[in-house]
Amino acid sequence: MAVTSNANIDWEKINSSLPIGKDPESRAKRKKMFRDFDPNGNGILSLAEVDKGIRDVLCLDAVFDAKPAILRAFTAAKASQKSSRGKIGDDYIELKEFRFFLLALRQYFEYWVAFNRVDANHDKKISLTEFVGNSKMIEGWVKMPVGEATFKEIDTNNGGYILFDEFASWALKKELDLEDDVDLDDDDVA
C-alpha cells in the first residue's frame, strides 16, 4: 500500500467528489454514485465494491490508497442504521447508509493523513518517539497538550505502538482537525 503523500492531496477535489449534502442535487448525485458503485445492481455494496468504486468512480487515488480509512468508514456506515434486508444487509452498505459512508470516508481519510504525518518511518504504527517528536504538530490538531501520557492513553492494546484504529478512535473523540485541509461545509455535515 502506498503511503499518502501530504504534498499532493487535493482536498477541494476530494470534498467536491463526495456528494454529502441534503439538497436534491446532492441526493441525486449520491443515488447515481451508489448505482455506479453497485455493478451487479443488487442494492447493497460490499467492501470490495466500495474499494473499486473509490478507484474507478471517484478516481481518488490518495483515498484509494488509504485502505485502513476505507475499512473504518465502511464498518461505521454498515452499522449506522438497521438493515432493511435482514441479517444479510448487516454486512453491506445500503443506499440509506451511503451518505454516512461518504462523510465517514472523508473524516477517516483526514485521520489517515494525520497518522501518516506522525508515522515518520511509514511502518504503519506510531512509536512513542514519533509521537512525542511530533507533539507540537499534534497539539495544533487537537488543541490540547499531548505527550507520553497521551500516547499511553491512545495505545489501548498496550502494544507499545499506536495503530491506525487506535489513533482514529482517539482522533474522533478529540475532534482532530488538520490545519491545511479544506473542511466540509457545516450545513452539509449536519
Q: Taking the complete model, does pTM exceed 0.75, yes or no?
A: yes
pLDDT given for residue 5 in this prediction: 46
Q: Is residue 169 part of a domain?
A: yes
Q: For the chain, what percent of residues have pLDDT higher than 70?
A: 88
User: What tens digit of pLDDT does each residue of 101-132 get?
Assistant: 999 999 999 999 999 999 999 999 999 999 99
Q: For the chain, what percent of residues have pLDDT higher than 90?
A: 81
Which range of residues forms the domain containing residue 135? Answer: 18-189
Q: Is residue 10 part of a domain?
A: no
- CATH number of domain containing 50: 1.10.238.10
User: What tens digit of pLDDT does each residue of 53-105 get?
Assistant: 999 999 999 999 999 999 999 999 998 866 665 556 578 999 999 999 999 99
Q: How many domains does the chain have?
A: 1
Q: Is residue 13 part of a domain?
A: no
Q: Is residue 1 part of a domain?
A: no
Q: Is residue 66 part of a domain?
A: yes
Q: Encode 127-169 in three state secondary structure.
A: CHHHHHHCHHHHHHHHCCCCCHHHHHHHCCCCCCCECHHHHHH
CA distance 149 to 155: 10
Q: Is residue 70 part of a domain?
A: yes
Q: Is residue 9 part of a domain?
A: no
User: What tens digit of pLDDT does each residue of 176-188 get?
Assistant: 999 888 777 655 5
CA distance 139 to 125: 19
From the centroid of its chain, how far is CA 29? Answer: 20
The full DSSP string for 84-96 is TTGGGGGGSEEHH
User: What tens digit of pLDDT does each residue of 10-45 get?
Assistant: 999 999 999 999 999 999 999 999 999 999 999 999
Exposed e or buried b for every residue in 93-106, given b needs 16+ CB within 10 A? bbeebbbbbbbbbb
Q: Is residue 6 part of a domain?
A: no
CA distance 7 to 10: 9
